[in-house]
Structure 1
Amino acid sequence: MLRSPTRSGMSTRRSDSQSDLTDDGVLSETSDIQRIAFRNKRKHPEENEHILVIKEEVSEIKTQIAQMMTLLTSLGTSQKEFMEKMSQDVASMKEQMSNIKSTTNNIIKEQNEIKSDVSSLVDKWTVTEKKLATVEYEIKQLKTEPTSSHSAAIISSESIMEEICERERRKRNLIISGIPEPVSARREERSLTDKSEVMTILRKIYPDCPEPTTTIRLGKYNPKKRRAIKLSFESQETSIHILRNRTNYTSHDNIKIYSDQTPQQREYLKKLKEELKTRSENDKKLSSSEETTPITCHIVSKRKNQISTSNINTYQIAENYNCITTTKKSLRFLYANVRSIVAPGKFDELLCIVKSFKNFLHFIILTETWIKSEDETKRFIIPDYTHYYNYRPNIRGGGVSIFAHDNLKHTLLENKCINGNHLMWISVENFSLNVGVVYRRPDSNIQTFLDEYSYRLNKMKRNIIFGDFNINLLASESEKTISMYKDVLKESGYKIMNKIDKSYCTRETPTTKTIIDHVCYNLKETYFHQAVIESSMSDHKQLYVELKRHQPKTPEKISYEAINYTTLYTTMTNNLNNNTNFLYNLLEESLLKSIARSKTVKYKIQNPPRQDWINKTIINEINCRNYLWKEHKRNINNTGKHEEFIKKRNEVAETIQRTKSTYYLKLFEACNKKPAKMWTLINSLSHNKIKANTGPTKLVINNEEITEEHKICECFNEFFSNIGSSLANKIKKPDFPCDALVCEPVTTTHILSQLSATTTDEISTIIDNLKINTSSGIDGVNTKSYQMCQKSNNLMNLLNV
């Protein structure tokens, strides 16, 4: 057993004992370690108290350290949260600062814009003030210098009535000046000479002019002067007819014919002429002082029915048909690639488009009509237009048409379909102009087509040609097709009317823009206006072309003779009473003379028929649909735009169909008890009458088409000359002979003396049963004229004789 060392030998170890005896340096063997016995240390009481105090202090220090650690941990967490909040606040402050900066920049920009607007408004205001000053000055001048209408004296009610009566009396009068004075000394001879001279002049103006009731020279007789002659007629229509046609008399320049005016009328016209002269002089002064502005050739205007100038070529992009700029004095064309006019509703829409133009179109030119037979062409009739057409028989696709207005003289020049390519020309005699339409298949040989096309360009003069050539003018000049096509036009002396610009393309897809619909011409000193029209009628845009400086044809007035039956009755009563011998030749002669004296000339303007089912609502709906189509093409991926366009397209088709059906339903209801009008309406709708065909005159014999008029006449003469013999030869002769029937002569016991006498009631009944709405016979006497003298006893006695 080993003992612990004493305190005196205590080293630097924790306890006062020796080193660990189990250490390898002390005991090296295992058996020795097992023999060691351990025991607890003995502690002194003082040491134990001291250790307890120390332990309490240590535990208290530990508790304080734990509290300090808890405080430090909570402090670190709160500082971390605070730093995070600080960083978020700094980021939001930075964002707010950037927003403030952008807002400030926008405010500065808006302030600059407002300053520029204010400056422009100030300039406009100054200009407006100047204009107001000029207007006030002109108003003051007008107040100080009143016109003749304001300065006219107040006329009393009595003088007004006298003036009205005087003008009414003078309506039937005419004044002729410039006729030489007769040299005879006798007044009767001078009067007869004047009457014969006046009638010679009047007959040249109006061949059927009746003799004036009075012919008087105005003023005192003076052989050295030429007094005016005053004429009076029974009817006012006679004097009006002479005044309207007085330009037909050109034998003497110094002879003038004018109406008989009152002194007040002459004074008023004199003042009007003076005022017109004064205003025209003032306008010239103002126009010379104003500065003129240059006119640009490119016009994109929405003003209706106005073109700025007539001596330049102008272009326009029209959003709808109402904003197309048009002029009355022009030759107007509408071109459209319709892609099947036979499709339901297409032709009705075309009629609405034609109706939307204020000034009527002279030519409507269509390509890709897809007409396949002659019978189909009869379905497409536009009133007052002649339909020229070319189609592919029984083959879908292609086809061209020209609708030419009937107030122009036009004939068909050429009509060809070569390898599926259509070429058609018509001649317009009024303007020595040829109008052509061409359609070229996309897959056709370009060289073969250009050879045929150039031959016709060189053969014809003064041409304007529309068509779908399927040659893109926006393509590069280096392409062979483009260069060949332009070389052909240049060699033939033709120009392209289209504006070569993407904004004026004639066919547009989401990815491409092309100009394949062309207008070419070789007219010299001719100016035009062209508009490109957006339409969903097909995938091609439409073209409107005006040739300027065209004098429109004035509406033709139709003259006709009408019988004044009151005058006829009075004249016939006197003439029949003079026929005491009851001679028929005297009756006929007096009746014809009475009718001739009772006739008056009247005039009317024959208006073209109106398509009442086409109204402004349909035209506005079509314009709205075309606008949606344009917006849809701009945003092809926008399903909302697409659905809106489809909905509007269906609504337009339904509106056209419903309006047309309602209109014709009312017509059928009006003809419910009138079979004749009912069948007329049915024939007009089904186009099963020959006269309903608006195509050019032609004849087909043995599959050969004849269009020349003299050849058509020869064919008809030959047919009707041989029809009798040809039909007789076709009659089969019987195999057995037929004996002629011998009839006994029939004798009658009636003689003329046994007829009963005619009564007045019998004559009246016969004449009353005659139809009034029938033309006159060979003698020129109509039914109503007979009815005027039916009550006469002389007529009864004449028939009884």
Structure 2
Amino acid sequence: MSVQRSPQGNKTPVGTPGGSQSQPDLSRPSVYDTDHQVSFRKRKQTNCDCECDEVINVLKAFRVDMISALETNLKPMRDDISTMKYQIEDIKSSTEKLLAEHNSIRKEISQLQKTSSATEAKITSLETEIENLKITPLPQSSSQIFANESIINEMQERERRSKNIIVVGLPELTNGDDCVRNTEEINLVKKILKDALSINAKVAKVMRLGKFITGKVRPMKVILESPQVVKEILKNKNKLPENVRVYNDQTPTEKNVLKELSQELVRRYKKLKLTTPIDLQRNSDQKITYQLSQTYQNLHTARSCLNIFYANVRSIRKQGKFDELKCILRSIDSIVHVILLTETWLKSNEEATSYHLPNYTHYYNIRTDSRGGGVSMYVHNNLNHSLCEEAYSDGINYLWIHLEKYALDIGLVYNPHENTNITKFLEVYSSQLLSKKRALVFGDFNLDLLRNKTNVKRYRDMLRESGYDIINNINIDYCTRPSSKTIIDHVCSNLKDKSFHMAIIESPMTDHSQIYLIMNKYKPPPKKRVQYEVVDYITLHQCIKNASHDQNNNYYNNLENLIKCGINESKITKTKILNLPLQDWICKDVTINIKTRNEIWQRLKQNPNNEALKTQFILERKNTANKIRSSKNKFYNDAFRKYTGDPKKMWNLINTLSSNKIKLSCSPPKLITESGPVSDGNESRLELQCRHRWHNHQSYQVYK
């Protein structure tokens, strides 16, 4: 608080000339006691306006900041509050549901309690009945007792036989007494198990089953130490030598059960409806199944059967036809053992030799008087085969080969016209059929089995009189030429105890359907093995190390003899499985292109007026041909370009590619003589020797 003070004057107060008082005497007037002479002085005031403005500004700024902060924070708070509201509502609904479920569970629990009490009452009554039954057991009939005993005996017998195996194919020794033979057979079994399966099994006993018959090898029962060893042997039985087979020792009941199961499997298989239709037909004693297929991947294949592929190719000389045939063979899952082709249109023997397949031998018969015709057979080299007969007369091609393993003759016939001299054809053909004991014949006979023409009746009567049955399914659905709805490609056989599976394959290669025939009861060829001797250097080093060395004049000679003896003692025999031929240019892309082209062709057959589909098929057919051509070029170019700068490796590659083809000559050697063509090697050699002697004799006469 400011204090108003009196104005300061001189030290000598006014009105007191000589006084020195501090305050004037106001009771007396002075000379200065006038209005204009009196001066008033206000209290000094502070500068309040300036300070208040600053405070107001600060407060305003603070207010603005507070408002912005509140606006910034209030929005998320509002969102959080709304979210909390929703969550509270969800919690309320969930709580209501839980309450409802809780009430339902309480009701169920009450019902379960009621049911439990009823169940306990039933259990109590059942326990009472069981106690009563224990007190008074029911009498068993004799049949039930016998059945129980037979089950117990069967289980005991299976347990006893679980340590046994049955070995078939081991040679039976006949020299020496029983003890010596038994010991040698035990050692033989141990050696086979150790060499083939690397199992050091303890053989307790061996015995031959059945009565001894000269020339017949009886199966052998081998008793081992434990069932685990038996399981290990049966698990790896495929590694045993080919002539040795191993089975588990089954009881008679097990054999009967397995027989019934196999019969049931056959019955169900016959009734099974696959994606492609398969029909069953019986001709005399033959069992034949049929299949219609539009792709080669859907074919019913079997590796343990003889597989035959037949096709009317309508000129294999046409560009891309032979390559497509290779792709078809690669698309089939199993090995095709015999490939039969009609209408090859080959012109000469030299041209026929250029069409060869790896691992196959090419037999052929060509038309010599005009264009077209001709038949070819490709037989896999895993089979022992030979040429039986070939003939060409009146425009008809005949070709026969013999498979030694089956004692089977396979024939191939091409009859170009239905209006040929049917009488002469039937005479020639029937004479060939009658000369074959076991035969299977394919061909394009141009005789439609769906029609009852005179020539067709004569043809079928001739087959029946010769003892042959037609394997084809005589049904329009199984026609071999879909364009004309005819069955002019036939298969017939005089085999009465064989079962066949015939598949009719529609293919855009020609207007003829292809035939894939499977003949059962065929054992696949084993892998070729070669035994060779090698030196075990560890054994050799041990022999040299343990030998004594004499320092004498013949030291080097003794050392040489020592090394030779050590090498002879350390030699061991090893077995090598020969590698299969190298993979050719056929790849997965090529087979996929062929499959796609065939699928488009099938759709085009159903809609022949669809121009877009027709254009797509032509384009895909062109792409397939280009893919085959480019795949071949790339395969061989890459193979030769790899060793361009290395002549040695280049020649090794050439030799490898050449050895990949099992036989360079695709036709058996033929020698034309005055009595006719000679294809047998021994006969050809004798004929050449005779000619050579005759030539030497003529030269000697001229010299004299």
> Aligning the two structures, in what range does the TM-score lie when normalised by the shorter sequence?
0.5 to 0.7
2:291 to 296, 308, 316: 316
Match of 1:387 in 2: 362
CA displacement at 1:302 relative to structure 2: 4.5
1:465 to 423, 434, 441: 441
Q: 1:336 to 1:683 in 2, by over 3 A?
A: farther
Structural mapping, 1:145-160, within 5 Å: none
Match of 1:506 in 2: 480
Structure 1's unaligned 5+ residue stretches are 1-178, 183-193, 207-230, 734-801
Question: CA–CA distance in 1 between the matches of 2:376 and 2:232?
Answer: 53
1:668 maps onto 2:640 in alignment: yes
Structural mapping, 1:164-183, within 5 Å: none
Structural mapping, 1:36-75, within 5 Å: none
1:492 maps onto 2:466 in alignment: yes
Question: CA–CA distance in 1 between the matches of 2:567 and 2:686?
Answer: 41
CA RMSD of aligned residues (A): 5.1
Match of 1:426 in 2: 401
1:609 maps onto 2:560 in alignment: no
CA displacement at 1:664 relative to structure 2: 1.1
SS at match of 2:287: coil
2:335 to 360, 364, 369: 360
1:413 maps onto 2:385 in alignment: no
1:342 maps onto 2:317 in alignment: yes
Structural mapping, 1:533-544, within 5 Å: 533-544=505-516
Structural mapping, 1:332-731, within 5 Å: 332-393=307-368, 395-442=370-417, 444-475=420-451, 477=452, 479-509=453-483, 512-571=484-543, 577=549, 580=552, 582=554, 590-679=562-651, 692-700=664-672, 704-718=676-690
Structure 2's unaligned 5+ residue stretches are 1-175, 236-246
Question: CA–CA distance in 1 between the matches of 2:182 and 2:542?
Answer: 31
CA displacement at 1:522 relative to structure 2: 0.9
SS at match of 2:449: coil
Alignment check: 8 A CA contact 1:625 1:649 kept: yes
Q: 1:636 to 1:655 in 2, by over 3 A?
A: same
Question: CA–CA distance in 1 between the matches of 2:377 and 2:234?
Answer: 53
Q: 1:688 to 1:374 in 2, by over 3 A?
A: farther
Q: 1:695 to 1:486 in 2, by over 3 A?
A: same
Question: CA–CA distance in 2 between the matches of 1:255 and 1:276?
Answer: 14
CA displacement at 1:348 relative to structure 2: 1.2
Task: Tell me the alpha carbon deviations over residues 382-433 of structure 1, each in whole angstroms, 9 at most, x when there is no partner.
Answer: 1211111111247421111111111111111101011221001111111111
How high is the TM-score relative to the length of structure 2? 0.61
Q: How many residues align?
A: 506
CA displacement at 1:324 relative to structure 2: 0.4
Alignment check: 8 A CA contact 1:237 1:600 kept: no
Q: 1:332 to 1:268 in 2, by over 3 A?
A: closer
Question: CA–CA distance in 2 between the matches of 1:267 and 1:682?
Answer: 49
SS at match of 1:513: coil
Match of 1:29 in 2: none
Question: CA–CA distance in 2 between the matches of 1:654 and 1:566?
Answer: 57
Alignment check: 8 A CA contact 1:297 1:315 kept: no
Q: 1:417 to 1:681 in 2, by over 3 A?
A: farther
Question: CA–CA distance in 1 between the matches of 2:670 and 2:546?
Answer: 56
Task: Tell me the alpha carbon deviations over residues 501-541 of structure 1, each in whole angstroms, 9 at most, x when there is no partner.
Answer: 111111122xx311111111111121111101011111111
SS at match of 1:370: coil
SS at match of 1:543: strand
1:325 maps onto 2:297 in alignment: no
CA displacement at 1:569 relative to structure 2: 4.8
Alignment check: 8 A CA contact 1:446 1:481 kept: yes
Structural mapping, 1:268-347, within 5 Å: 301-302=275-276, 312-347=287-322
Question: CA–CA distance in 1 between the matches of 2:677 and 2:255?
Answer: 63
Question: CA–CA distance in 2 between the matches of 1:238 and 1:338?
Answer: 46
AA matched with 1:596: N
AA matched with 2:522: H
Q: 1:288 to 1:577 in 2, by over 3 A?
A: closer
How high is the TM-score relative to the length of structure 1? 0.54
> Taking every aligned residue pair, what percent have the same amino acid on both sides?
35
Q: 1:425 to 1:641 in 2, by over 3 A?
A: same
Question: CA–CA distance in 2 between the matches of 1:239 and 1:631?
Answer: 53
AA matched with 1:503: D
Q: 1:343 to 1:553 in 2, by over 3 A?
A: same
Q: 1:639 to 1:715 in 2, by over 3 A?
A: same
